[in-house]
Amino acid sequence: MTTVSPHAPWSYVLQLPHDPRAPRVARKTLRAVLNGHGMTERLDTAELLACELVTNAYRHSDGQATLRLRHMEGGWLRISVWDTNPVIPAPFDKPPGAVRPVPTPAPAAHSGGRGLLLVQLCADNWGGYPLGDDLFGRSGKLLWCELAPTTERAQAA
């Protein structure tokens, strides 16, 4: 029987319809994937980030979305969500590594607008890319965030 190294890169992709239940499905899928790979120490933060990105896709696009979970070299975990709306919200519109503003919360009177703020505050890296039309007619944007390996996160704290 072949065994898989816990440190080997892997990737999962989940297609989500434009449905208000999509964030819940994304959370449950992420929980199953991370539990299956023994990454329970990142579960709560990763679940929050994925849910916020999928919720943003549902609220601001009118089509399907795609959630991708990727365990990368060095132990980083990337969560990305593609949707059909090409508009990249601030501050995700800045290139990775650019000077980014300090997150400021939405006024208390607003009922939304805090999801991407949570992503900024909880992720170790994040960004967005516009996607032009490809061979399959897909366009829109990709928002992503990353969580550092747990050893790096503990040292940063």
Encoding tokens for residue 122?
Answer: 């909880």
pLDDT tens, position by position, 104-142: 555 554 455 566 878 888 999 999 988 877 656 668 999
Taking residues 7-22, what's their average pLDDT?
93
The percentage of the chain sitting over the pLDDT mark of 90, rounded to a whole number, equals 59
Rounded (10°) angle between helices 22-36 and 43-60: 150
CATH number for the domain formed by residue range(s) 10-97+111-156: 3.30.565.10
Can you give the residue ranges of every domain in the chain?
A: 10-97+111-156
Q: Which residue has the tokens 């366009």?
A: 139
